[in-house]
Amino acid sequence: MSCSVQVAVRVRPFNSRERNLNAFCCISMNGRQTVITDLSKKNDEKKFTFDYSYWSHDGYHEEPSGYFSPAPGSHYADQKQVFSDVGQGVLDSAWEGYHACLFAYGQTGSGKSYSMVGYGENKGIIPIACEEIFRRIAQNKDPAKSFEVSCSMLEVYNEHVHDLLIKPSTRPPGGLEIRESKVLGIFVEGLSKRAVNSYAGIQKIVDEGTSNRSIGATLMNATSSRAHTVVSIELHQVTTMNGKQGRRLSVIHLVDLAGSEKNDQTQAIGDRLKEGCAINKSLSALGNVISALADKAAGKDKGRVVPYRDSKLTRLLQNALGGSCKTIMLCALSPASSNYDETLSTLRYADRAKQVKNFAVVNEDPTLRLIRELREENEELRALLEGNNGASRGLSEAERKVLEEEHQKEIRAMENALHDMEKSFQQKLEESQKQAAAQTAQGAIDSATVPHLTVLNEDVLLSGQVKFAFPHAPGQLWIGKKKGDWTPDVSLSGLGIFPRHCSCAFDAGKRVVYLTVEEGVNYTFVNGEKIGNKKLVALKSGDRLVLGQAYAFLVVFPAEKNPRLLEEYTYDNALQEVCVAQGEVKRAKPSEAELQEEKAKTEAYRKQVEAMQRAQSEFEEKMRQAALKASAEERQRLEEEFRKKHEALDREKKELQRKEMRRLAAETDRKEVEATLVEILPRVKEANLIAAELNKPYKLIPSFDMCFTSTGERKSKVLVSVKYCGKLVYEWTPAVLDNRLFLMRDLLEKYYEETDKDGFLRRLRKEEDPFWDPIEKEKCIGKAVLFLQSLTAQLESESNAHIFNKEGVEVGQLNVAVFPVTKDGKELEDDDIKESPEELLGTSAYYEVRILSASGLPKELSNNTFVKFKFFRCSSYTETPRVRGSTANPVFNFRKIFEESVTPAFTDYLENEVLIFEVYGEDLRATK
């Protein structure tokens, strides 16, 4: 059965950060169509059509139970609707005997986890699907039919496959192997598969897997948003007739992909080490697979090999993407205009995926035949091992040994699969219950009554999953790093963590927890404040404890009954609280005076608009009364006067609105810069600590980049300046820093594992070093803008424009102009000039851009200078020739004619946007 991959997209509400920044929504939906608008460019819309477009941005009502339902008359898509359309289809396919796969894609924080898992009463697709499975089973009235359900949960992190139903401390260090069998297809060797007979059984498995995932992230100091999670549910429908048994097997894969902005964010595209990061590699491989399958479905390049083997993720999803499986992709979208690039990338990814076609088949195989075929395949492997087919001829002894070991592993994997298939479902159920009980018994606490310390994670789904009970004094809960024979109760790793970092104990009489700080004096913070020399600190419920550079915990006293603690205090808030309290950044929240000033400006704007509307209404009434008494000629004069006055008031109103929009945009820009600064500071600090630990003379410092918007407004962006031995060598965007920090952590772990640490660093090639980048000789001196509004009247626009550097300081002037010309570059005659822009519509117009000279450029960068720019919708830059040599006053004498079809979009560009010129020169210090 041929079927296309179904694609759904869903947009979430603004989060608290976006609300604080007065974010604008750049997404709209109408039926199946999704429209994204670049708000920095007027009328720049891109439209996409999918199987489902879910509007979950606003229009909801919170019921007393906490469930979000559609408000009357709204188009809000709630959890039930999403499951009805998407999850129900997955289950229906499974019930018919097809394999099914649903995977969620989107940037971190776009709402993937909400759709897949949900929170509180707003259950997501996974829990609702699990409930529905057992509801359907309970409705079965056929005595000849029975059902067997089993569940597994795994994670792909850093190109390693981890079993999430096994405690991290007992997992194989290299993860599990992916195998392929002619009979079983692709499977993970040694993956735990728990038999279940109720929804509660599956829920317990998912909870256990999520808890182990959080423990693993804590132990490895890992970023959970960089891991892919797969929950697999096997459904066997067993029919017995005349003593013979037939089986229909369906596997449902529910996949939560890692945050896609790590791969797609435009600011990270230029990072030379982007593909060195495993998460980027796996998401890139997934994109390549989807592109290859889409091309094949369209009849293009039929001989192309689909690159499933390029990553563990695509290997696991091979059947789901291009095999005998019904597949649905759910893409989560951020509504904020600040995430426009990432959201557009997600939409394009989704648009590509809907072109993929699968060929699903019903999986009906008698168990006995499967077992027989597995045995036959196992015998073939044994024959290979014994060299009966000559496969090992011509190989060296070492190669032959590797081949034999691989065959032995495959034989063991087949034998384990055979052993598992020969067990009855009741045996599997009993074993699963024992395994679950054994896993739960390890470190289980009654978190509903016992005071405890819980781990905060950047993934809200994992926050609160790992808990450590406070022992009653004089007992102690030790937190620190494992070293030699010393193993603390809470074992952490990473920078700023010491073996005996600190300990906690609960005083039941005083109902207080005492924190004793030992070796971690400089890396222990409570509610943002450094403990310093205060060795003993009393903790209360709701206190945040931050250790080292990346660990955050929350103190919880269940008796105080505050169920919203985890909503009030997040991982990001805890780390940012440290930065603000330590004075490393400006306060994250505005002062009362700032709030009052903002309120006053908004009120003044409101009053101006109201006054203008009153004046307009009064004038209209005056004209109406006068027209009643006037003659026909007088009425005509009054109507003309009314029209002119109305147009003037309308212009004033629009100008007032533009000023208010500019003010709000500037305020949003300021807030966004502050918020980004608060977010990246912990990462900058961690990178600097890693550099110091590895004895690398690099230091990272937050910096700013002033740029121009398309309308000529100044806007600031946060960058990270990288200094080497005290000299600035290059700058990174926050996206590049995120990518490099992941690689830095990986390098540090390898460094710790090495016995010859100095030799390890000497052998590290600079191309593999996450701190190193080639120093670019060509650097942007600054930018200048030219307003184009006069061109709508076919008048030239010329200026000795100021050049501003990234700090917003003037660093020279640029003599530029744009002239309307004829096709052959001559000046327009008076007869050629149109009276209004509307007369130009539908014609071809010619414009000559002139870049004559620059003056007053900084000497250190005024070498081999050139200027580049993009006119209207040009996809690439136009560059002037280099002015060779060193001069602060280069002469370019550059001219180029552009032909444009005059459309409303083009006239809007001339009226409202600017032409941005970027001046570049060579930094001769970069070659030294």
Residue 287 has pLDDT above 60, yes or no: yes
Q: What is the pLDDT of residues 356-400, one digit of tens each?
A: 766 666 655 545 455 555 556 556 656 655 554 455 555 566 656
Q: Within this chain, do residues 26 and 63 fall inside the same structural domain, yes or no?
A: yes
Identify which has the larger pLDDT, 586 or 115: 115
What would the mean pLDDT of 596-615 be, rounded to a whole number? 69
Tokens found for residue 781? 């001196």
The per-residue pLDDT for 267 is: 45
The per-residue pLDDT for 567 is: 77
What would the mean pLDDT of 451-480 be, rounded to a whole number? 85
Q: Say if residue 717 is exposed, middle or buried (CB neighbours under 10 Å; 0-12, 13-18, 19+).
A: middle
Q: Within this chain, do residues 239 and 97 fall inside the same structural domain, yes or no?
A: yes
What would the mean pLDDT of 543-568 be, rounded to a whole number? 85
The per-residue pLDDT for 420 is: 62
The per-residue pLDDT for 368 is: 47
What would the mean pLDDT of 413-438 be, rounded to a whole number? 61
Residue 708 has pLDDT above 80, yes or no: no
Residue 101 has pLDDT above 60, yes or no: yes
185 in a domain, yes or no? no
The per-residue pLDDT for 813 is: 96
What would the mean pLDDT of 437-444 be, rounded to a whole number? 58
Final residue in a domain of this structure, among 333, 359, 385: 359
SS3 call for 607 = helix
Distance between alpha carbon 756 and the CA centroid of its chain, in Å?
A: 37
Q: What is the pLDDT of residues 16-47, one digit of tens each?
A: 778 877 788 899 999 999 999 887 666 578 89
Distance CA 133, CA 304 (A): 39
Task: For 677-703, give the secondary structure using H, E and C.
Answer: HHHHHHHHHHHHHHHHHCCCCEEEEEE
Distance CA 749, CA 273 (A): 18
Distance CA 413, CA 429 (A): 21
SS3 call for 887 = coil
End-to-end CA distance of the chain: 65
Q: What is the pLDDT of residues 610-664, one digit of tens each?
A: 776 777 677 667 767 766 666 777 767 767 777 777 777 777 776 676 676 667 7
848 in a domain, yes or no? yes
The per-residue pLDDT for 697 is: 95
Q: Within this chain, do residues 135 and 31 fall inside the same structural domain, yes or no?
A: yes
Give this prediction's pTM: 0.72
Q: Where are the alpha helices (DSSP H) in 161-300?
A: 199-220, 261-264, 278-297
Residue 588 has pLDDT above 50, yes or no: no
Pairing of strands 727-732, 467-469: unpaired
SS3 call for 270 = coil
CA distances from 622 to 418, 646, 652 (A): 93, 13, 20
CA distances from 152 to 300, 618, 778 (A): 37, 73, 53
Task: For 341-362, give the secondary structure using H, E and C.
Answer: HHHHHHHHHHHHHCCCEEECCC
Q: What is the pLDDT of residues 305-317, one digit of tens each?
A: 888 888 888 888 8
CATH number of domain containing 285? 3.40.850.10
Q: Within this chain, do residues 132 and 264 fall inside the same structural domain, yes or no?
A: yes
Final residue in a domain of this structure, among 768, 788, 822: 768
Q: What is the pLDDT of residues 526-550, one digit of tens each?
A: 999 988 766 789 998 899 999 988 8
Identify which has the larger pLDDT, 595 or 835: 835
Residue 253 has pLDDT above 70, yes or no: yes
C-alpha neighbours within 13 Å on the C-beta side of residue 633: 0
Grade residue 783 by pLDDT with cuts at 50, 70 and 90. very high
Exposed e or buried b for every residue in 541-572, given b needs 16+ CB within 10 A?
bebbbbbbbbbbbbbbbbeeeeeebeeebbbb
**Residue 392 in marked binding region:** no
Q: Which of the residue ranges 372-376, 404-408, 502-506, 572-576 would you say has the lowest mean pLDDT?
A: 372-376
Evaluate whether 233 touches 130 at the Cβ level (below 8 Å).
yes
503 in a domain, yes or no? yes
**Residue 73 in marked binding region:** no
Identify which has the larger pLDDT, 204 or 610: 204
Distance CA 668, CA 490 (A): 41
Spell out the residues 6+ positions from residue 605 whose beta carbon is closer than 8 angstroms to its own. Answer: 656, 660
Evaluate whether 505 touches 476 at the Cβ level (below 8 Å).
yes
**Residue 107 in marked binding region:** yes
| Cα-based torsion angle of the residue sequence 837, 838, 843, 849 in order, rounded to the nearest 10 degrees | 20
Residue percentage of the chain with pLDDT more than 70: 77
Task: Give the dihedral sign, CA 429/434/435/437.
Answer: positive
Q: Within this chain, do residues 311 and 389 fall inside the same structural domain, yes or no?
A: no
What would the mean pLDDT of 869-895 be, rounded to a whole number? 93
**Residue 862 in marked binding region:** no
Distance between alpha carbon 455 and the CA centroid of its chain, in Å?
A: 22
Identify which has the larger pLDDT, 757 or 638: 757
Q: Within this chain, do residues 641 and 575 fall inside the same structural domain, yes or no?
A: no
For residue 233, list its beta bridge partners. Answer: 151, 252
Name residue, tokens 């598992």: 420
The per-residue pLDDT for 416 is: 62
The per-residue pLDDT for 427 is: 65
The per-residue pLDDT for 568 is: 81
Q: Within this chain, do residues 603 and 743 fall inside the same structural domain, yes or no?
A: yes
Q: Within this chain, do residues 605 and 534 fall inside the same structural domain, yes or no?
A: no
Q: What is the pLDDT of residues 318-346, one digit of tens each?
A: 877 766 678 888 999 999 888 888 899 89
What would the mean pLDDT of 750-762 be, rounded to a whole number? 89
**Residue 170 in marked binding region:** no
What would the mean pLDDT of 131-149 be, rounded to a whole number? 89
207 in a domain, yes or no? no
| DSSP output for 720-749 | EEEEETTEEEEEE-HHHHHHHHHHHHHHHH
Final residue in a domain of this structure, among 389, 412, 441: 441
**Residue 79 in marked binding region:** no
Q: Which of the residue ranges 414-423, 578-587, 732-741 would you say has the lowest mean pLDDT?
A: 414-423
Nearest to residue 669, comparing CAs of 709, 635, 637? 709
Q: What is the pLDDT of residues 730-741, one digit of tens each?
A: 899 998 998 899
Nearest to residue 517, comparing CAs of 484, 558, 548? 548
Residue 441 has pLDDT above 60, yes or no: no
What mean pLDDT is reported for the chain? 81
**Residue 223 in marked binding region:** no
| Cα-based torsion angle of the residue sequence 585, 588, 590, 591 in order, rounded to the nearest 10 degrees | -70
The per-residue pLDDT for 266 is: 41
Distance CA 716, CA 708 (A): 8
Q: Within this chain, do residues 683 and 702 fall inside the same structural domain, yes or no?
A: yes
Evaluate whether 387 touches 400 at the Cβ level (below 8 Å).
no
Q: Within this chain, do residues 761 and 638 fall inside the same structural domain, yes or no?
A: yes
Q: Which of the residue ranges 385-394, 457-466, 848-857 would you say has the lowest mean pLDDT?
A: 385-394
Per-residue DSSP letter, 182: T
204 in a domain, yes or no? no
Q: Within this chain, do residues 858 and 791 fall inside the same structural domain, yes or no?
A: yes
Grade residue 917 by pLDDT with cuts at 50, 70 and 90. very high
Domain that holds residue 19: 2-147+229-359
Name the domain count of the chain: 5
Distance CA 572, CA 682 (A): 10
CATH number of domain containing 923? 2.60.40.150
Distance CA 598, CA 16 (A): 19
Residue percentage of the chain with pLDDT more than 90: 25
Helix (H) or strand (E) holding 531: none
Grade residue 265 by pLDDT with cuts at 50, 70 and 90. very low
Q: In what order do the strands lie in the sheet with 502-507?
A: 490-492, 477-481, 502-507, 512-517, 536-539
What would the mean pLDDT of 142-168 be, rounded to a whole number? 88
**Residue 56 in marked binding region:** no
Tokens found for residue 202? 């599956």
Grade residue 595 by pLDDT with cuts at 50, 70 and 90. low
Evaluate whether 24 touches 40 at the Cβ level (below 8 Å).
no
SS3 call for 296 = helix
764 in a domain, yes or no? yes
Q: Which long-range contacts (CB under 8 A, 24 or more apart) does 476-479 make?
A: 476/503, 476/504, 476/505, 476/516, 477/453, 477/503, 477/504, 477/505, 478/502, 478/503, 479/503, 479/504, 479/547
Q: Within this chain, do residues 759 and 856 fall inside the same structural domain, yes or no?
A: no
Distance CA 648, CA 646 (A): 5
Evaluate whether 574 touches 673 at the Cβ level (below 8 Å).
no
201 in a domain, yes or no? no
Nearest to residue 329, comparing CAs of 290, 300, 296, 379? 290
Task: For 492-508, give the secondary structure using H, E and C.
Answer: ECCCCCCCCCEEEEEEC
745 in a domain, yes or no? yes
CATH number of domain containing 481? 2.60.200.20
Pairing of strands 477-481, 490-492: parallel
Distance CA 458, CA 456 (A): 7
Nearest to residue 221, comparing CAs of 547, 573, 581? 547
